[in-house]
Chains A and B, each alone.
Chain A
Amino acid sequence: MNWQEIQKRAEKKRKALERKRKDPRFRAVIGRLVHEGFLKARDTAPTRARPTVEDALFAGEVEPRVLELLPAILARRPKLFLQTRPLPPDLELVVRELKRGKAERDFRGIPAIKYTAWETLVRHHGPEQMAIAKTFRLKKADLTLLAALKEKWGLNETEVVRKALALATE
C-alpha cells in the first residue's frame, strides 16, 4: 500500500470520526470532563451538563481517554454521569473491583494500571483540590512554636499550618 492510498483511506476514517465528534453526546461528555478539570481539550467549551453513562461510552469510542476516566468516576463520583439503566457487565465489574481496590482486568482495551491511576484525582474532585507537598526551612524557634501549637490545638503539623493560615487571613 502506498502513502497516497493510506491518506485516502485515513480521510474516510477521519470524516466518520468528525461526525461523531460533532454529536451532542460527545460534546456534552467532553465538556463536562473539561469543566471538572479531568480533561484538556482545545476545541471544547466546559459545560455543567450531566450526560448519561451511555453518552460517555459513546464518547469513549471516539476518544478512549474518556474510557480511561470512566471507571474511576463511577467508583468515586457516580453522580457526575446520569445512570438511566444498569451498567454494562464489563463496566460494572471493573467499577466493583476498583471500589474494592482490586482492579486488575483491562476495560475495553484500557489496562487496569491506567484507569486506576485516576482514582485519587477523581476522589479529590480534580487536581486543584489535591494536597501539594511543600518544603520549608524552619529555624529552631519556628519549630518550637509549631510544636507548641500542635500541643495547644491538638492537631498535626499540616493542620496547624492550615489553621494558622486561615486565622491570619480572617
Chain B
Amino acid sequence: MSILSAFEWQALWLSFKVATRSVLFALPLAIAVAWVLARTRFTGKVLFDGLVHLPLVMPPVVVGYLLLLIFGARGPIGAWLYQAFGWRLVFTAAGASLATAVMSFPLMVRAIRLAIEAVDMGLEQAAATLGAGPLDRFASITLPLMLPGVLSGAVVAFAASLGEFGAVITFVSNIPGETQTLPLAIYSAVQTPGGEASAARLAALSMVLALAGLVAAELAARRVRQMLGR
C-alpha cells in the first residue's frame, strides 16, 4: 500500500511487535499480581499496591532512566545478562518491549484485579466442597469468570504499549527498525524539515489504533460475558 511510506510501515510494524511481546511477557505476571492484590491480605499490602501502580503516576522518563541504570551495559542486571547470555536490552527491540511492559503493567493489573474481585467466591467454595483442588478451581472456575478482565486488560495494555514514548526513548533511544515505534517516528518526523505530512499521517494512524484498541477491549469483554451467560 502506498498510503504510508516505508519508514512509516516500519514504525507501525515494529510497534506491533514491541507491543505484542510486551503484553505476552507481562500478562502472566499481571494475573499473579492482580490475584495477590484481590485475594490476599498481608502487612505492607498498601505499599505493594503503590509500587505496582507507580509507573502510572511517575514521569515516563524516570521509568526509562531507572531501566537504563538497572538494565544498561553497566547496570547490575544489564551487565549480568550480557556476560551470561550475550543479551542486550539497551538500543534493542527487546528493551523497548521491557519499557512498554513496565509502563502498561498497572493498567493490566487494574483491569484483571477488578475482574477477580467480581468473581463469586461462593462458586469456588462450592467446587471445593465437591472435591476440586485449588488449581482445578482456578482453571475451571476463577479463570473463565475473570477472562473478560484479562482480555480487556491485555488489549488496553497493548494499545498503551503502542503509544509509549518517554520510557522508550530514554531507555532504548530512537533507532529506525529497532526501537523507533510509532510515537518516536512521529517525534522524528516533527523535528525534520518537510516531515509534517508524515507526522500527520502517523498521528492519525496512532489515534485510530488507540481507539480501535479501546473498542476491541470493550467488545471482547462483552462477548465473553455473553458466552458466560451473564
Same assembly: no
Binding site for B on A (CB under 8 A): none
- B residues adjacent to A (C-beta < 8 A): none
